[in-house]
Structure 1
């Protein structure tokens, strides 16, 4: 019985491997690692065949499967029967999906994935995957026009992601500097095809997006086959471009099969040369536009000045401005005529009122008791001041007061006579 078994049977807590005095044996730890790795179970892997080794007379084939996006690889072990079951000839660089499970070879301390089935991914299936990804990203709104950022009019610094010493790099730099010699470039060289292209381009986009002076980023490649352009339809790259704060231009240069980068980018250029023309203004054209704009401004200002002169001449030719005193003289004459009309109206009104006053005064005088007394009449009043209007109010011996025009006389009634009614002639005489 081993010491491990004894410890297990005694019920003591295992302390092996925790102290240098009680280490694990190699076979024990190898067994534990093998058991732990075996828990993963069978999985499907997608990758690219980086290396294929089939030894003569051996029933085992060895494959190095490389990640399609990053620089990672795994060893694959399979039987030659499994390898021969793959439709078509499996070669290095082929895209495959492998059904396998992890195995740890305890005696050698090595790890590999044991392949049970290998399927070679054809171009049709790759395009189908890209189409499914395109539909998913479109549904998320990553292709929407309203989310695309506007490019700066005159970027002082342009970020360029392209292959080292490539024709695309030359086209962009030459055309941009011909159009605007002062433009600066921050260039990042990456792989533009193969398994590492998507990873390197994604990392370059993040780097340039964080650059403080880069105002626009161009991803350039001079076209290629559908397989060559697969990295530019990588989902990680597409989501990185969509999340970037800096405007990004896609200049892959391939018309028939458009990579998904063209849909996510803020601007799609047909070629690297077209990208340079789209993001960098032509200095000669801009100088011509400035000159034309100056001419238009000069003409507009001259027209406004001419219109101002014409208006001034029109205003100064009017009588009111040609002879300003005429307005004062004319208004003075109007004022004099108005004053004369007012004077005549006032004189006429006073004359009319004076005549009316004389007429009323004459009527008042005529109706006044004093005027009646002046004609020889007298007013009889009793001692209490009551005016006597009838002989019925008088009695013999009664004292009366007679008021005449220039004084008053005291009277005594001797006798009262009732007179007959006056005749018509007497009434008229009275």
Structure 2
């Protein structure tokens, strides 16, 4: 007989009892495990109670057998819908091939335990930085299309649609109706979030749900859903429950609205307020334009009232007068300079004339020159019969030297001896 299941063949199979024994042996080696679930069915039979436990976030369930003494130890009777943690061990029944779960301890999960678990998860995610302000995305001023994730025909859906339409009648929605509580809530909300996040026309996503108990709102503190919202590329608005409700989704969302109605007021502007702002802006702009026109008009009037603008030719006239005045001053200055120069020339001419030989000639003196033009200053320069020219005040006289008298050495001013009568030079 083959030792292992891998060694079996069609020609050498195991008897069914061998497979059953090996499964029994393998399952019996499995230890007890603590698990959490929700009681959805409860059937009491003598000393044994049969429960159906379902996962709180998925469609997975197990049948569990609980001894009566285990349930008798509970402080309050166990009921359907209760959330419990139980210590389970698998048990395989060889004759029928059935697998059942045996429990030796079961404990209800109270509100305090749930709150403590939520707070531990909140702190852990906060330490990762999922709630950091720099991760928050800004909401568009006027979204073209709003993605809405809400319950089927719920009051939260009606509140968001009605209040958003009242504030902005042209608003458009892309609605996804999903389960907002129960075991399928996390999966359906996450799937709707991914779908709307990939939608090219959706500018903002609203996750809305009305109020409820802590157990009803637990899906919105689920770690998988929280991480899906943190990774969304589209801004997400959380509108879960009432003001006092605070699931973890509120911390990771880009905007937390206290109620679905508050979400509608915060994702779209009020058309009446916007129209009033437009009117006010137009009034402010109109006043600014009018003020600018008045200011520039006054400035133009001031410029036009200036003499240079009122009489532009005045500047040319004034400059023409200045030019004429300068010309007159230049002419007078020139005339005065000419007169002064003329007087100076006359004075210099008079000085020259007073020093001129001609002036001496005019007083009756004469200048004797030799034939070569040399002026005779001493009688020793001539000899008898030398031709000479005698220049008088008016004209010249040609003459010839008949005799020469040597110059005497008597002092200047001493009278000379008169020549005898008949002397040739007298």
Interval containing the TM-score (normalised by the shorter chain): 0.7 to 0.9
Q: How do 1:337-356 residues align onto structure 2 when only pairs under 5 Å count?
A: 337-341=325-329
| Equivalent-residue separation in structure 2 for 1:217 and 1:15 (angstroms) | 53
- For these two proteins, the number of residue pairs brought into alignment is 376
Confirm or deny that 1:206 pairs with 2:194. Answer: yes
Structure 1 residue 361, shift from structure 2 partner:
12
| Equivalent-residue separation in structure 1 for 2:346 and 2:30 (angstroms) | 139
Specify which of 303, 320, 331 is matched with residue 308 of structure 2: 320
- Deviation track 1:29-70 (CA, whole Å, cap 9, x = no partner) reads 334444555565332212211222221x2x333222211112
2:222 paired residue number: 234
2:240 paired residue number: 252
Confirm or deny that 1:97 pairs with 2:85. Answer: yes
Superposed CA RMSD: 3.9
Confirm or deny that 1:177 pairs with 2:165. Answer: yes
Q: How do 1:150-299 residues align onto structure 2 when only pairs under 5 Å count?
A: 150-299=138-287
| Equivalent-residue separation in structure 1 for 2:261 and 2:12 (angstroms) | 70
1:46 paired residue number: 36
Confirm or deny that 1:25 pairs with 2:27. Answer: no
Give TM-score scaled by structure 2 length. 0.75
- Worse overlay, 314-323 or 278-287: 278-287
Change beyond 3 A, Cα 1:50–1:305: same
Give TM-score scaled by structure 1 length. 0.75
Change beyond 3 A, Cα 1:46–1:15: closer
1:87, 1:120 within 8 Å by CA — same for their partners in 2?
Answer: no
| Equivalent-residue separation in structure 2 for 1:360 and 1:290 (angstroms) | 97
Structure 1 residue 139, shift from structure 2 partner:
1.8
- Worse overlay, 268-277 or 112-121: 112-121
- Deviation track 1:292-331 (CA, whole Å, cap 9, x = no partner) reads 2222222222222222211111111111000000011112
| Equivalent-residue separation in structure 1 for 2:190 and 2:235 (angstroms) | 15
2:320 paired residue number: 332
Ranges in structure 1 where 5+ consecutive residues have no aligned partner? 365-402, 412-422, 426-430
- Worse overlay, 282-291 or 230-239: 282-291
- Deviation track 1:74-120 (CA, whole Å, cap 9, x = no partner) reads 23233222232333222121111122233333332222333232121
2:43, 2:50 within 8 Å by CA — same for their partners in 1?
Answer: yes
Structure 1 residue 341, shift from structure 2 partner:
4.6
| Equivalent-residue separation in structure 2 for 1:248 and 1:183 (angstroms) | 17
Change beyond 3 A, Cα 1:163–1:360: farther
Specify which of 273, 291, 305 is matched with residue 303 of structure 1: 291
2:243, 2:259 within 8 Å by CA — same for their partners in 1?
Answer: no
Structure 1 residue 122, shift from structure 2 partner:
0.8
